[in-house]
Amino acid sequence: MELQKRSGVSLPKILATWLLLLAASAGPAECIRENPNFSAQDEGGGGGGAAEEFRYSAASCRTHTASLADFGGVGDGVTSNTAAFGDAVAHLSQFASDGGGMLFVPAGRWLTGPFNLTSSFTLFLHRDAVILATQNVNEWPVIDPLPSYGRGRDHPGGRYSSLIGGSNLTDVIITGDNGTIDGQGATWWSKFHGNKLKYTRGYLIELMHSDQIFIMNLTLLNSPAWNIHPVYSSNIVISGITILAPVHSPNTDGINPDSCSNVRIEDCYIVSGDDCVAIKSGWDEYGIAYGMPSQHILVRRLVCVSPTSAVIALGSEMSGGIRDVRAEDITAVNSESGVRIKTAIGRGAYVRDVFVRRMTLDTMKWVFWMTGNYKSHPDDKYDPNAIPVVDGISYSDVTAVNVTMAARLEGIPGAPFTGVCISNITVALRKARKLPWYCTDVEGVSSGVTPAACASLADQGTDNGGGGLCPFPTDPAPMEDVQLQECAYVKTS
């Protein structure tokens, strides 16, 4: 049967090459400075006095280090540190081919406008460090729209840059001992609601055209819009991130891989005013022309609260294609839907090979939601013949309680969503309904589903309790072979 023979996905050669390079590079011993007096003094660090050591694990340690304080930074929550961040990154960028650079952000409240990172670089936040985004709109540069979107999402034309950005980089680590990046988004949200912005809001972290990205052990608060946006990038690990935004803040999506390959998102806790994770790949004719898919993406051990949106969304911008997405061990309390696929005529491309298993859900409108007529287009130039294909969607081992309706699955008339496989799902409805599953233009199979799925998902019987009907790939997860090293930074105060 067709669903069973979906082939696995092999890690691209680029990753294997990179791992070889990693193995050949500095080992842990070289990363840890045993001399407690070491402090990047050659780079202007510290002024002597008591040393404090910070240990952390990361895919690579760095040979050159500096503290934001060495560049005139003042962590009083009032003084602008835009120039300090810019100077520090510029200084450390010279070491990209000499062991890399690490910028330490000490305890304190570091107000700043947007700044960019560099290659072979680590940004490390002390546990009591808070990077505070400036609320002065004039400090946010306006940059070009993403080519795969053709315009900003909120407004036609350019868009505000992201707080922490970077383009065409290799080997970037943003980590810390759960330090904080606070977007202070409230002013942006009220301007957005009041229609007072000329350009699309910036994101908290956006890395473009980059390879080997690690974002770990941080708390992100109150982003103006999306929180983490890797775009046109590959080989990405996002782990141990707490993202908090008011549940009614506009478009504060958690993590949005966009035209990215080989992405692992794990152990994250997200409270959001929009989707907790949204996988995207460009918008209508712009995304089709750019043609860069999102693929080989794993989301696991995610805890999500998103009352107005999905736990995991695919689309609605998916015009470069989305394929090989896996999600497992997902917990959500109070979300609009568990997994949502959204697309529209004009999007073109495809969403295929999506595998979700082991979700535990409490309080939602729809456990599964598919929408073939999502109404939002960049302009009216989209191609009415660009019909998206949705095929090979497997959901299994899900329990959900306090649910309004089990599923709302709406394909495209004349272009049904196919290969939908649903097994071992138990949904406890808040109130009994005549039609707990609503399906139009979808085709597939089901087994062990309570309450029973719609007739267009032909029941295969429950001889095996519904287990095993729907496939889940067994080949390695993206970036599974990345070894973390023990790094240390010694700061003298």
Ligand X SMILES: *[C@@H]1O[C@H](CO)[C@@H](O)[C@H](O)[C@H]1NC(C)=O
CB 213 within 8 A of CB 241: no
- Phi then psi dihedrals of residue 69, to 5 deg: -60, -25
* Residue number with CB closer to ligand X (381 or 430): 430
Interacting residue ranges for ligand X, rule: CB under 6 A: 35, 37, 56-58, 114-116, 141, 143, 161, 165, 167-168, 175, 178, 209, 216-217, 219, 240, 242, 363, 397-399, 402, 424, 430, 465, 467
Q: How far is the CB of 373 from ligand X (least distance, A)?
A: 25
Instruction: Using alpha carbons only, give the angle 239, 243, 248 rounded to the nearest 5 degrees.
Output: 150
Q: How far is the CB of 144 from ligand X (least distance, A)?
A: 7
Residues 6 or more apart in contact with residue 194 via CB below 8 angstroms: none
Q: How far is the CB of 359 from ligand X (least distance, A)?
A: 8
* Residue number with CB closer to ligand X (301 or 377): 301
At 118 the three-state DSSP class reads coil
Residue nearest to ligand X (CB): 467
CB 411 within 8 A of CB 441: yes
* Residue number with CB closer to ligand X (385 or 432): 432
Q: What's the Cα-to-Cα distance from 455 to each of 11, 367, 411, 458, rounded to whole Å?
A: 38, 18, 15, 6
Q: What's the Cα-to-Cα distance from 241 to each of 216, 238, 285, rounded to whole Å?
A: 6, 7, 34
| CA–CA distance, 330 with 424 (Å, rounded to integer) | 15
* Residue number with CB closer to ligand X (321 or 416): 321
Residue type, 171: D
Q: How far is the CB of 466 from ligand X (least distance, A)?
A: 6
Taking alpha carbons only, the member of 426, 429, 434, 372 closest to residue 405 is 429
Active-site residue among 258, 274, 324, 397? 274
Is 459 part of the annotated catalytic residue set? no
Taking alpha carbons only, the member of 236, 221, 231 closest to residue 174 is 236
* Residue number with CB closer to ligand X (116 or 456): 116
Catalytic residues: 274
